[in-house]
Amino acid sequence: METVQSSKRIMAFLLDILLVFFLASLVTSIHFINPYYKKYEESFEKYSEVTNNYLEEKISEKEFLKLNYVNYYNVSRFSVPYNIAIVVILILYFAAFQKFNNGQTMGKQIMKIKVVNNDDDKDVSFLKYLLRSLPIYYISIGSIIPLLLNSLILLFVKGKIYYIVSTCINYAFVILGLITLVVMLSRKDKRGLHDLMAGTKVIEIK
């Protein structure tokens, strides 16, 4: 079995992330699960309106930043149920589903690739799937650790401080995600940091 090309892995990942976001949006639009859905929509509309007004030069930069700190905080506050749904679905999909679906997500099935142990090409344990799921998803907005951290700091800070801390967290994990991607693209075996951590690799299947 040959090690898979990076392009196929990236395409499978993008397909999987789109599916996860769709499922999370579907689940959190149910009022019983997410009673803050309407408040989130209202806050997001205000956030978008202020941003558009600034881009159209209807308000000053100082006024934009002042309003944006509050709006960004409110959007984040009311998006906690969505963040929790993303985390749960990511774990269920990339760890549990992949474990019981012969090492494949839906994206991997479409691209005809699968995850196996690096040493013997055998099936991967659930714990390894869970471990390898953590670092690779720093690339996406829906990554597990940044979402948890952003939700957690809501308990301690708000307004401008929250905006600054949350922005720093997001940038830090985007950088980690890019490092993961660079490692995968630069190695001959096309294994990323998540594969190195979990002792896995992705291979082509017939």
The whole-number pLDDT of residue 169 equals 80
Quick one: pLDDT band at residue 145, thresholds 50, 70, 90?
A: low
Q: What is the pLDDT of residues 172-205, one digit of tens each?
A: 777 777 777 787 778 777 787 778 888 888 888 8
User: Where do the H-state alpha helices sit in the chain?
Assistant: 6-28, 37-55, 61-78, 80-91, 98-99, 106-111, 126-136, 144-152, 159-186, 193-198
The rounded distance, in Å, linking the Cα atoms of 203 and 119 is 13
Residues 29-86: pLDDT tens digits?
Answer: 888 888 888 888 898 899 899 989 989 888 998 888 888 888 888 888 888 888 788 7
Distance from C-alpha of 14 to C-alpha of 107, rounded to nearest angstrom: 8
Which pLDDT value is given to residue 162?
85
So what's the pLDDT on residue 108?
92
Quote the mean pLDDT of the chain.
Answer: 82
Judged by DSSP in three states, 2 sits in coil
